[in-house]
Amino acid sequence: MPKQTFYNLPEEKRKVVTSAAVDEFAEYGFEAASINRIVANGGISKGSFYQYFDDKMDVFKYLLDVIANEKTEFFKGKHPPSPGQSVFGYFRWMMKTGMEFNSTNPKLVKAIGRVLLTEGMYYGKMFADIKKKTTDALVEMIKSAKQNGEIDANVDEQMAATVMDTWSNVISSSILNEGMQKKDIVKWVRLPKTQKYIDDMLSIMEHGLRNVKPSSLDDE
Domain membership of residue 68 (yes or no) is no
Same domain, 132 and 167: yes
Residue numbers of the domain that contains 32: 4-63
Cα–Cα distance between 89 and 71 in angstroms, integer? Answer: 20
Cα–Cα distance between 90 and 69 in angstroms, integer? Answer: 22
Same domain, 89 and 145: yes
Domain membership of residue 217 (yes or no) is no
CA contacts within 13 A on the Cβ side of 138: 24
Give the domain-ending residue among 18, 39, 63: 63
Give the domain-ending residue among 35, 63, 91: 63
Cα–Cα distance between 8 and 14 in angstroms, integer? Answer: 9
* pLDDT at position 84: 75
Within a 10 A sphere around the Cβ of 122, how many other Cβ atoms? Answer: 19
Q: What is the mean pLDDT of each run of 10 residues along the chain (220 residues)?
A: 94 96 96 97 96 97 96 89 83 92 94 94 91 94 91 92 92 90 91 92 85 58
Domain membership of residue 151 (yes or no) is yes
Same domain, 88 and 149: yes
Residue 157 contacts by C-beta under 8 Å, 6 or more apart in sequence?
A: 139, 142, 143, 146
Domain membership of residue 111 (yes or no) is yes
Same domain, 86 and 122: yes
Domain membership of residue 181 (yes or no) is yes
The one-letter amino acid at 56? K
Same domain, 32 and 91: no
* pLDDT at position 188: 93
pLDDT > 90: percent of the chain: 74
Domain membership of residue 114 (yes or no) is yes
How far is C-alpha 189 from the chain's CA centre?
15
* pLDDT at position 87: 87
* pLDDT at position 219: 54
Same domain, 27 and 130: no
Same domain, 119 and 160: yes
Same domain, 136 and 169: yes
Do the beta carbons of residue 18 and residue 63 sit within 8 Å?
yes
Domain membership of residue 214 (yes or no) is no
CATH number at 97 reads 1.10.357.10
| The CA-based dihedral angle spanning residues 71, 158, 113, 120, taken in that order and rounded to the nearest 10 degrees | 150
Same domain, 19 and 91: no
CATH number at 26 reads 1.10.10.60
Same domain, 89 and 51: no
* pLDDT at position 86: 86
Same domain, 126 and 29: no
Same domain, 122 and 38: no
Domain membership of residue 183 (yes or no) is yes
Structural domains counted in the chain:
2
